[in-house]
Amino acid sequence: MGAAVLITDAAGRALLVEPVYKDYWEIVGGCVDADESPRQAAAREVKEELGRAVVPGRLLVTDWVPPRPDRTEGMMFVYDGGTLDEVGTADILLPPDELRSWAWCTEEQIRERMPELLARRVVAALRAKAEGTMLDLENGFRTH
């Protein structure tokens, strides 16, 4: 099970981070630890990856991911991390052993920098945030 936070700017772009150990970008997030709720994990991941405290807002997306040969099925929760401006991003502190950089990304840039599944999930989260809804996904696709 995983949890992530979608942080946007005033233009509606998503904050993506570039891990040093992967060849693609992600939104802030990670695995939920034992005895930790997805919301707690999302807050912890923001603190670990950006060096700032954020209280995750409403749930934007749930995404069930089917099993693959190298992993079991999974569940991903994406929370609203709010909107930041230049002042709000001035204190971002990336852990150099984990993240190379961060950037504000449009939907087109999201699709260029992320694998299809992750891009579908993040684009869906952007839409849910903009529309004030919550989306239930399976493998990044809407279920209804």
Given 3.90.79.10, 3.90.226.10, 3.90.190.20, 3.40.50.2000, which CATH number is that of 2-142? 3.90.79.10
Residue 99 pairs in a beta bridge with: 19
Alpha carbon distances (Å) from 116 to 5, 11, 69, 110, 144: 18, 23, 18, 9, 20
DSSP class of residue 77 equals E
pLDDT, position 36: 98
Tell me whether residue 35 is exposed, middle or buried, using C-beta atoms within 10 angstroms of its C-beta: 0 to 12, 13 to 18, 19 or more: exposed
Mean pLDDT by 10 residues, the chain (144 residues): 97 97 97 97 97 95 93 96 89 94 97 97 98 96 86
* Structure-token pair, residue 28: 């802030």
Residue 61 pairs in a beta bridge with: 78, 135
Residue 49 contacts residue 95 (beta carbons within 8 Å): yes
